[in-house]
Structure 1
Amino acid sequence: MQILSFSLLISPLSFSHLCPSVHRAFKINELKTEVTNRLAMLEKRVELEGMKVVEIEKCRNDIKKLREEMLAQPIFHTVPLSTLLSPPCTPSPCLPCCPLLEALRLPTFDAWQWEPNEMLSCLEHMYHDLGLVKDFSINPITLKRWLLCIHDNYRNNPFHNFRHCFCVTQMMYSMICLCSLQEKFTQVDVLILMTAAVCHDLDHPGFNNTYQINARTELAVRYNDISPLENHHCAVAFQIFSQPDCNIFSSFDPEAFKQIRQGTITLILATDMARHGEILDSFKQKVDNFDYTDEEHITCLKMVLIKCCDISNEVRPMEVAEPWVDCLLEEYFMQSDREKTEGLPVAPFMDREKVTKPTAQIGFIKFVLIPMFETVMKLFPQIEEAMVQPLRESRDRYEELKQIDDAMNEKKKSENLTMGGKKK
């Protein structure tokens, strides 16, 4: 029997029908493979997101457990938390030994553990504890309303938000206590320091002065490119004070109010980092022969103190400080992304493609923070252990991290060169 080849069994017409079918079969297989791969990727993402949710829930449970443990301590049974944070009419012997109130006086205080309403209560306590409410006849209800209004006028930015406001004010409170500033300053000076700290970033839009000026925003036009944000913070602060329900200065006569207003504005304007060199140089000229009876010396010191508090995150323990770096970089990247979109200049330290956490922090700690805090240390040696030493340790840690990053980058380059050589 003659064996016919396969090609002879299939007519040209059959081929024309068969080819599209085979083609479709291959396409279906490709599609199945692609769908399978995508499903696998999706399942992996769901798994990762699930892990994040578990971690967040674990953190919440840890915080809840911490609060329960604190409330279980005898002191919290003796005095309710609300009472501790709103000083009673008569001094309580329990107050000085309260762990929360003692922690509130220290630079190590961890604001991440507290909700906004709790931070508001802490701010209220600071004004009472420093004697400001009593000495200036501040209505306690007005103080509460003012602080609530302050909270409502901070935006939900990654960094420049109400929690940052609280941290700056808490650090100011800590410095007042640690450096015994009430023995050297008048109570009016202390009131100005605290109030300027509370108000210093009101209604911050999350984009810095450089952006405001380059983008010719309404704020830059209004303030003629001169510290537009800081001028805006001052304006918002005194718009709030103009409301009778929020005016904690209602008992002041016009001349005293003018002094408070001018002092607060001076300090808020000093937080513009464009003026950093000018302000620090002025303080360095005075510090070796500092005169507490000289109003110019006192004003300069207050300007340096609010500057220290404004950029003091690295003074705090690593676990408290490091999340703030992430928040700041997030805000920087939001700005640089917008600047690229709008064709505006982009600062290298704000560019997500050029900056890392170590490179962002090393120069700032070495050339801005440490020199300023060491200059303040000449007047107040007691801050060395509590503030300057943590800065030095933070600098060393970031330098070590940079060395690790550099070594890993070199290793990757070497591996890429080796792989390139093998391909040839």
Structure 2
Amino acid sequence: MPTFDARPWEDEELLLLLQQMYLDHDFCSKFAIDIQTLRNFLYEAYKNYNDVPFHNFRHCFCVAQMLYAISWCVDLPSKIGHLEVLILLTSCICHDLDHPGYNNIYQINAKTELAIRYNDISPLENHHCSVAFRILENEDCNIFKSFSSEEFKVVREGMIRSILATDMARHNEILTNFKEILPNFNYDDKGHVNLLCMVLIKVSDISNEARPMEVAEPWLDKLLQEFFKQSDAEKLEGLPVTPFMDRDKITKPSSQCSFIGFVLLPLFEALGELFEELQDLIVQPVREALDYYRRLNEANKEERMHRKSIVELEQHSATHSPDSGKGGAQSKNMRKSLSFQTRSRHIFSVFKHLYPREDMS
């Protein structure tokens, strides 16, 4: 379920859970995957994730786990076939291999080796694919070694297509194309299924807000930590500062309102149109997350306005009242009293925004 919380689990246990996803789908039997080869593959993938705040092995697990949850909820194999689900699950595990913690915008602006190698075209996603297939070149790790060359070609094309779809620069293109085919979606149309697979891995990749707040929010903190580290580096290196990563310009609620409202929710709602079963599972939780951050953002705005009012009041009092003696003491007491009253009203207002149905009397 999307409520699953990976935090209490050790890395070794998460590797076993990934293995169990393959077993639960009966992939080892259906595709002659040796269990030891599967373990070798998962361990090599694990070793090729970096110790960065967000784009690490645990993120890869969460993406795979969300796809697994969706797969069982909608019975995905019966709709697109077991092979496509195998490709998707493996792509989820590989989709951020060797991520350096700095996104494509940084790679391109800094003219990194990756940006030069891939001509500024999805440098990170191309690199993740490359690392994945380097792992699969090792026979001890090649879970597809029983496949014919033609069958492996299908796997390779599917994994590249899926992983490249996680480049957020392609988000609008993929979502627009998917919404165009939705009214006449046809599972017998390979182009339709390919597009659906791209949407499925994208949904899984950015699915944290479909999880309970106590599971999702620590991930958001890690993502902002990674964002702020990049924007700090951009400032130090004289590069253009990525606006949504600038610690001086964004807050957690404001960034979430924009991301969930304009990026995440439209994608989830589009998938929910095709799979009605997902409405309660992941779509409604995302709507609730957006509502929560909107209330929090409004409360933050009001807090800033109150702070500004307090500063202006104190400046006015300092300018028009004596600063010493009896009059000065009275003035200070008055400012303290007004400041306390203003803050009290603000605290009450914040609670009304966050918990509008609570009895605050």
Partner of 1:222: 117
The separation in 1 between residues aligned to 2:157 and 2:38, in whole angstroms, is 20
Partner of 1:152: 47
Partner of 1:237: 132
Partner of 2:28: 133
Deviations 1:93-136 (A, max 9, x none): xxxxxxxxxxxxx1111111211101000000000100111100
Partner of 2:350: none
- Give the alignment partner of residue 261 of structure 1, picking from 137, 153, 156: 156
The separation in 1 between residues aligned to 2:174 and 2:295, in whole angstroms, is 31
Counterpart secondary structure, 1:288: helix
Partner of 1:61: none
Partner of 2:90: 195
Instruction: Return the letter of the residue paired with 1:255.
Output: E
**Bigger Cα Rg:** 1
Deviations 1:196-245 (A, max 9, x none): 00100000000000000000000000000000000000000000000111
Residue 348 of structure 1: CA displacement? 1.9
Partner of 1:62: none
Deviations 1:167-197 (A, max 9, x none): 0000000111011111111211111110100
Residue 308 of structure 1: CA displacement? 0.3
The separation in 1 between residues aligned to 2:221 and 2:105, in whole angstroms, is 21
The separation in 2 between residues aligned to 1:112 and 1:357, in whole angstroms, is 21
Please state if 1:370 is matched with 2:256: no
- Give the alignment partner of residue 80 of structure 2, picking from 175, 185, 188: 185
The separation in 2 between residues aligned to 1:274 and 1:413, in whole angstroms, is 38
Runs of 4+ in 1 over 4 A off after TM superposition: none
Matches within 5 A, 1:407-418: 407-418=302-313
Q: Which runs of 5 or more structure 1 residues have no equivalent in the other structure?
A: 1-105
Instruction: Return the letter of the residue paired with 1:174.
Output: A
Residue 400 of structure 1: CA displacement? 1.0
Identity fraction in percent? 55
The separation in 2 between residues aligned to 1:319 and 1:370, in whole angstroms, is 20
Please state if 1:314 is matched with 2:213: no
Residue 323 of structure 1: CA displacement? 0.5
Instruction: Return the letter of the residue paired with 2:79.
Output: K
Instruction: Return the letter of the residue paired with 1:241.
Output: L
Residue 403 of structure 1: CA displacement? 1.4
Deviations 1:354-394 (A, max 9, x none): 11110110111111111111111111011111111101110
Matches within 5 A, 1:76-225: 106-225=1-120
Residue 349 of structure 1: CA displacement? 1.1
Partner of 2:349: none
The separation in 2 between residues aligned to 1:301 and 1:386, in whole angstroms, is 18
Q: Which runs of 5 or more structure 2 residues have no equivalent in the other structure?
A: 320-361
Which protein has greater RCO, CA pairs closer than 8 Å, 6+ apart? Answer: 2
Deviations 1:274-309 (A, max 9, x none): 000000111011111000000000000000000000
Instruction: Return the letter of the residue paired with 2:20.
Output: H
Larger mean CA deviation between 361-370 and 312-321 belongs to 361-370
Instruction: Return the letter of the residue paired with 1:268.
Output: I
The separation in 2 between residues aligned to 1:189 and 1:306, in whole angstroms, is 12
Matches within 5 A, 1:235-384: 235-384=130-279
Residue 311 of structure 1: CA displacement? 0.3
The separation in 1 between residues aligned to 2:297 and 2:116, in whole angstroms, is 40
Counterpart secondary structure, 1:111: coil
- Give the alignment partner of residue 400 of structure 1, picking from 291, 295, 299: 295
The separation in 1 between residues aligned to 2:55 and 2:87, in whole angstroms, is 21
Counterpart secondary structure, 1:245: coil
The separation in 1 between residues aligned to 2:128 and 2:274, in whole angstroms, is 30
How many pairs align? 319
Instruction: Return the letter of the residue paired with 2:112.
Output: T
Residue 401 of structure 1: CA displacement? 0.8
Task: Calculate the TM-score normalised by the size of structure 2.
Answer: 0.88
Task: Calculate the TM-score normalised by the size of structure 1.
Answer: 0.75
